[in-house]
Amino acid sequence: MKKIIYSLMFFFLMININAQQTPAAKQSNPISIEGATAHLGNGQVIENSLIMFSDGKITFVGSAMMRIARIGTVINAKGKHIYPGLIATNASLGLAEIDAVKATRDFDEVGTMNPHIRSLIAYNAESKVVESMRPNGVLMAQITPRGGLISGTSSIVQLDAWNWEDASIKTDDAIHMNWPGSFTSGRWWLGEDPALKADPNYGKNIDEIKQYFLNAKNYLASNSDTKHIPYESTKGLFDGSTKLFIHASGAKEITDAITICKELGINNLALVHGEGADSVADLLVKNNVGVVLDRPHRNPNSEDDAYDYTYTIAKTLVDKGVLVCLGMEGQMERMNTRNLPFYAGTFAAHGLDKEVALQLLTSNSAKILGIDDKVGTLEVGKDATLFISDGDALDMRGNVLSKAFIQGRDISLETHQTKLWKRYSNKYRSK
């Protein structure tokens, strides 16, 4: 019996040992990176750059030709490229591990109105999916819940941590709401007409949302002794400290959502998905509403859209003055988040300037998420969250990382996948 117990203890110990890499230690020595082409994340590029950081913060950004003393460990990155850490917006990393195993999925909650649900406390810092982001330069993410009309609250994390407390960069940054569509289609599997038609319940669905927020607003103004936790959690929406991310597509839906939220006194807004946002770009600019676009590798939603609509929408919105970043919601979203830089590369291949495409993952994301004072660009005083790539980070042929740092910590680029790659590369190399 003792042998069985010891065997079980050893088995579970090995699972725990293999579950998570040890997060990198806090930066103890200054680091200077010289010679690389620095892409600052704000559209600017410095050839033959010098980047220095200490205690987790960037202390110098400039030309390596300047006569300035290098500090600490000097990394020669001549011929390589340096970028700010990429930010995955509207992602559900760490909230599910294996889509086919229900017990590992924790991204939505029972009920339709859940503004009080906090995705952060369900975030699994030990996820093997999360660790696979880092070798492609994805070092931060907005962890976002799904489901219902009001899904809950997202938080922003860095992707090398012991637990969710260590991971958090900004806690409870936004509440996410799924705006109803004005069209519906029949359930073909029940013999109903599958063609799109106006949804007769659209007005009723909108009234339900309006009434909920009005009730919350009245509750907050009443100073009631009875605590209503969901209503309590909406307080930031009305005082502007919490952003409302509206998941909506279609010109009518987007217009209705912004107009009604403004009427309710909810002014700090962002739009997610945004199919059709190009037709209401003036409304978005006027109300300072940033757009979190879906990844471009998909079919257009409407048969009236151009065949390359999903590839060119980023440039269209940028040219119209809309602040745009890139989100990850969709099929296989957690696993596909590692491809974030290559989705931006697709936008660049279809008319968007390469450095502007990079901004969709760096400075623009940071601005929309409200963390641009900490990350998003290579600037003095910001977190030293950055990486060195052998080539163009937006091209899978060039995105080969040699070093990555989160808040100055020299993180591991080894993952379960890279170990398997090396293992089987050796197998076939030996033949």
For position 76, which CATH number holds? Answer: 2.30.40.10
How do residues 198-254 score in pLDDT, each as one tens digit? 888 899 999 999 999 999 999 999 987 889 999 999 999 999 999 999 999 999 999
Are residues 214 and 312 both part of a single domain?
Answer: yes
- Is the model's pTM score more than 0.85? yes
Are residues 184 and 217 both part of a single domain?
Answer: yes
How do residues 377-400 score in pLDDT, each as one tens digit? 999 999 999 999 999 999 999 999
Q: What long-range pairs does 104-112 form, CB within 8 A, spacing at least 24?
A: 107/145, 107/146, 107/147, 108/145, 108/146, 108/147, 108/148, 108/151, 109/145, 109/147, 109/148, 109/151, 109/152, 111/148, 112/148, 112/149, 112/150
Rg (CA), the chain: 23
Which pLDDT does position 18 carry in this prediction?
Answer: 52
What mean pLDDT, rounded, does the chain reach? 92
Q: Which domain holds residue 331?
A: 86-375
Answer yes or no: is 236 within a domain: yes
Answer yes or no: is 12 within a domain: no
Q: Percent of the chain, pLDDT > 90?
A: 77
Of 33-47, 110-124, 140-154, 181-195, least confident by mean pLDDT is 181-195
Are residues 95 and 212 both part of a single domain?
Answer: yes
Are residues 81 and 101 both part of a single domain?
Answer: no
Judge contact between 212 and 113, C-beta under 8 A. yes
Answer yes or no: is 11 within a domain: no
Answer yes or no: is 15 within a domain: no
pLDDT confidence bin for 267, thresholds 50/70/90 = very high
Are residues 96 and 69 both part of a single domain?
Answer: no
Is the four-CA dihedral 391, 396, 399, 401 of positive or negative sign?
negative
Are residues 124 and 244 both part of a single domain?
Answer: yes
Are residues 257 and 294 both part of a single domain?
Answer: yes
Answer yes or no: is 199 within a domain: yes
Domain end position, chosen among 375, 404, 423: 375
Domain end position, chosen among 329, 357, 375: 375
Of 1-15, 54-68, 375-389, least confident by mean pLDDT is 1-15
Are residues 78 and 90 both part of a single domain?
Answer: no
What CATH number does the domain containing 235 carry? 3.20.20.140
Which pLDDT does position 127 carry in this prediction?
Answer: 92
Helix (H) or strand (E) holding 167: helix 164-167
Answer yes or no: is 8 within a domain: no
Residue 4, pLDDT above cutoff 70: no
Which pLDDT does position 184 carry in this prediction?
Answer: 83
Are residues 171 and 193 both part of a single domain?
Answer: yes
Are residues 358 and 427 both part of a single domain?
Answer: no
Which pLDDT does position 11 carry in this prediction?
Answer: 44
Q: Of 411, 397, 407, 386, which Cα lies nearest the Cα of 77?
A: 386
Residue 374, pLDDT above cutoff 70: yes
Which pLDDT does position 15 carry in this prediction?
Answer: 43
Residue 44, pLDDT above cutoff 80: yes
Are residues 116 and 164 both part of a single domain?
Answer: yes
How far, in Å, CA of 333 to CA of 327, rounded?
A: 10
Residue 10, pLDDT above cutoff 60: no
Q: How much is the average pLDDT of 257-263? A: 97
Of 77-86, 171-180, 412-421, least confident by mean pLDDT is 412-421
Number of domains in the chain: 2
Answer yes or no: is 79 within a domain: yes
Within its chain, how far is the Cα of 34 from the centroid? Answer: 29
Q: CA dist 260 to 49, 242, 256, 427, Å?
A: 48, 17, 6, 61
Q: Of 14, 83, 35, which Cα lies nearest the Cα of 405?
A: 83
pLDDT confidence bin for 16, thresholds 50/70/90 = very low
The residue with greater pLDDT, 133 or 226, is 133
Are residues 281 and 143 both part of a single domain?
Answer: yes
Answer yes or no: is 312 within a domain: yes
How far, in Å, CA of 369 to CA of 375, rounded?
A: 10
